[in-house]
């Protein structure tokens, strides 16, 4: 029995795309401030969670 997998071409909903773009911008911002990629990614995720909690 084959597992059904999502097609790589499956469109992401607008909300998901906005979240990913926001996260990417935050990571770039934090890296410019001197954080490592890992630190920047963790901080961006924390900021994104905080933003989503406020909604």
| Model confidence, pTM | 0.68
Nearest-angstrom CA–CA distance, 8 and 2: 17
* Contact yes or no for 24/38 (Cβ under 8 A): no
* 34 CA to centre of own chain: 20
pLDDT score recorded for residue 14 = 86
pLDDT score recorded for residue 27 = 95
* Cα distances (Å, whole numbers) of residue 28 to 1, 25, 53, 55: 43, 5, 22, 24
Nearest-angstrom CA–CA distance, 1 and 24: 38
Give the start-to-end residue ranges of the domains of the chain.
Answer: 14-54
Quickly state the pLDDT bin for 3 (edges 50, 70, 90). Answer: low
Convert the pLDDT of each residue in 5-50 to its tens digit.
555 556 778 888 888 898 999 999 999 999 999 999 999 999 988 8
pLDDT score recorded for residue 28 = 96
């Amino acid at each position: 029995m084959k597992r059904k997998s999502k097609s790589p071409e499956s469109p992401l909903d607008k909300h998901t795309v906005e979240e990913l773009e926001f996260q990417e911008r935050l990571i770039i911002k934090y890296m410019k401030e001197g954080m490592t990629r890992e630190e920047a990614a963790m901080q961006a995720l924390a900021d994104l969670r905080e933003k989503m909690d406020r909604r």
